[in-house]
Chain A
């Protein structure tokens, strides 16, 4: 496996979507290649950044909003989207 192939596989390696054979080959390449190790570490950093995004608390209870809305308020877009939902479910 060369560096170009290894770098292209890093995201799937991280997602554990590679089969065992390719995963082992990539692991072996990473052990012996400083440049690809650097690429993998940098990739891990961006994933760590994303994992630090906090979970937001709910600003309100959305069930209460449903009770207040009357059927006459349904927009044309909602009607179209309803058709789409039916078609694509």
Chain B
């Protein structure tokens, strides 16, 4: 933990409002994005982020500085996310349009599905990657945490974390291949988006 973060936490624990604001302000965006990546739903992510900070505020005195502040907040956020998914059924949203692709030398004219790229990534993660794999994958590949940092957030061994990350990636890739995404299927594709042009 950085020395200035340590000092901010100590001051915030003693009731220093300015320290608390500064501490929370620098983590808000990270926690909100973690929640969007896990839920695929900005409105739900908004509620869960607020709840995370409320809980962190109420429990700050119990934080014993054994991990970084972000890791501690992420642990609270992950617990709220798991509670949310135990009690709520999944909501399936559909977002696509069909477009006609003119024929090329090797490909006859065809109708393909066009999806919005950002929606497609979030939807694929949320609907096709099981929760435990998604949590590990999001922490590693989207939050860029190390295996060790993830083991401080999820109560799993490093070996289990590695397995979950790898299975999550495999399932996600299989979904893009089976969905006939142009980036993966080359000639025989059925689905396109603006995003693949930038890959």
Residues of A within 8 A of B (CB): 11-12, 15, 17, 42-43, 45-50, 52-63, 65-66, 69, 71, 74, 77-78, 81-82, 84-86, 88-89
Contact = CB atoms under 8 A, between A and B. Distances in A.
B59 A82 contact: yes
B83 A77 contact: yes
A62 B49 contact: yes
Contacts of B37: 53
Given A59-B42, A59-B46, 4 more contacts: A53-B37, A62-B32, A74-B58, A82-B58
B115 to A, nearest CB: 12
B154 to A, nearest CB: 11
B183 A49 contact: yes
A58 B29 contact: yes
A49 B199 contact: yes
**Which interface residue of A46, A60, A61, A65 has the most chain B CB atoms within 10 A?**
A46
A66 B199 CA distance: 41
Contacts of A89: 62-64, 66-67, 72
A61 to B, nearest CB: 7
A66 B155 contact: no
Interface of B: 21, 24-25, 28-29, 32-33, 36-37, 42, 45-46, 49-50, 53-55, 57-59, 62-64, 66-67, 72, 75-76, 79-80, 83, 117-118, 121-122, 140-142, 147, 155, 162, 165-166, 169, 172-173, 176-177, 183-184, 195, 198-199
Contact of B169 (A11, A54, A62): A11
Grouping DSSP codes into helix (H, G, I), strand (E, B) and loop, the B interface class, with mixed when no group exceeds half, is: helix
B53 A63 contact: yes
Contacts of A53: 37, 118, 121-122, 142
A81 B62 contact: no
A52 B169 contact: no
B50 A46 contact: no
**Which interface residue of B21, B42, B54, B172 has the most chain A CB atoms within 10 A?**
B54
A58 B28 contact: yes
A60 B122 CA distance: 21
B159 to A, nearest CB: 12
A52 B121 contact: yes
Contact of A60 (B46, B140, B173): B46
B54 A81 contact: no
A58 to B, nearest CB: 6
A66 B183 CA distance: 44
Contacts of B199: 45, 48-49, 52
A85 B76 contact: yes
A52 B142 CA distance: 10
